[in-house]
Structure 1
Amino acid sequence: SGDLTSYIKKNHQELSWERIIHLSHDIAKALRELHRKKLIHCDLHSGNILNHITCYGILWTWIADLGLCLKEDDIANQKTNNSIFGKIGYMAPEVLRRNSYSKAADVYSFGIILWELTSCRMPFSDVRQDIHLVYEIIEGRRPKIVEGTPPAFAKLIQDCWNPDPNLRPTMEEV
């Protein structure tokens, strides 16, 4: 039991593509359900994804920490987002530009989590998490796709972190 960050650290050598796909599918389903309820997480990262292995060896995965979660209708009434909260490496460029959160921003974060599953590393762990990284992400910096990532999975990751939020897939499409 624990969060996805800890799970990846503990199991990085045994993280098969089958397990990566299973985890990705569970996270996608959970985020899709949140979005169906017209909720936006606003702080999606691997530390907010919890998992538990049952006594039968079944891995359960769910999204937690809904404290910053907002209703889509409430966000639609905001012109701009005056505060930025969350982990920089998982934040969509439009959010870093202080635009409102959206389902598409959650999709961006989901794409970063998919990359994290393939790399077994935190995004941008090799650089300082500061204003320079913020500007680099706004300008298009993304983590490098890990060699050996299946092409369809790599495309999904890149589609999720498209700089244009309107071109990202919805969680229904994922």
Structure 2
Amino acid sequence: MVNGSLRHVLIRKDRVLDRRKRLIILMDAAFGMEDPERPICKVGDFGLSRIKRNTLVSGGVRGTLPWMAPELLNGSSNQVSEKVDVYSFGIVMWEILTGEEPYANMHCGAIIGGIVNNTLRPPIPKRCDSEWKKLMEQCWSPDPADRPSFTEITHRLRDMSTALQKKRPNLASR
């Protein structure tokens, strides 16, 4: 990719992502997850990306620890759905918001225990927009049934983008 990975873009000190650019990145990712046939976004490692139906996970856990949903770590179910990717998306929302890596200074055992016990989620900065915060928290909800679908996520991100453009119409021309 021209600009490298999302992580690479987020750690660059010479480039600041304003709220509009963050929303564009998230909308591209959500559109890509909603419709894998539409070539909008390149999703590389998004937990168990592109799972659109219940799938049996065999041969061990697959994914990247800070972005993994509780149901992938607690061994309570072999059945997973696209909701594991929704959880990962919520963590990515936080990452885009803060520019940081979740749980960077924690040991694996503490991360696993916190995620499984639903006592660990990344700290939300006070400057976080209320709609962004609400969507992010719903995405990383402990109960997969409470997490929105990618279709709902794309609609809500679009609404956030529209609201931002109405607030600051000069951003659309940049």
Shorter-chain TM range is 0.7 to 0.9
SS class of match (1:172)? helix
**Is the 1:81–1:101 contact (alpha carbons within 8 Å) kept by the matching residues of 2?**
no
SS in structure 2 at match of 1:158: helix
Structure 2 residue 18 is the aligned partner of structure 1 residue 24? no
CA contact (8 A) 2:66 2:102 kept: yes
Q: Is 1:148 paired with 2:127?
A: yes
Q: TM-score, normalised by structure 1?
A: 0.74
TM-score, normalised by the number of residues in structure 2:
0.74
1:88 is matched with: 65
Gaps of 5+ in 1: 38-59
Q: What stretches of structure 2 of length at least 5 have no aligned partner?
A: 154-174
Q: Does 1:103 align with 2:105?
A: no
CA RMSD in angstroms, aligned pairs only = 2.5
Query: Larger strand proportion, structure 1 or 2?
Result: 1
Q: What is the alpha-carbon distance in structure 2 between the residues aligned to residue 83 and residue 113 of structure 1?
A: 23
Identify which of 108, 111, 114 aligns with 1:136: 114
- Looking at CA atoms only, which structure, 1 or 2, has the larger radius of gyration? 2
Report the alpha carbon displacement of residue 70 of structure 1 after superposing the two structures with TM.
6.6
Is 1:116 the counterpart of 2:66 in the alignment?
A: no
Alpha-carbon displacement from aligned partner over 1:114-168 (angstroms, at most 9, x marks no partner): 000011011111212x122101111111001122110000101000000000000
What percentage of aligned pairs have identical amino acids?
26
Residue 166 to residue 148, structure 1, CA distance change in 2 (3 Å): same
Runs of 4+ in 1 over 6 A off after TM superposition: none
1:111 and 1:160 in contact (8 A); partners too: yes
Selected match of 2:9 from 7, 10, 15:
7
1:61 Cα shift?
4.2
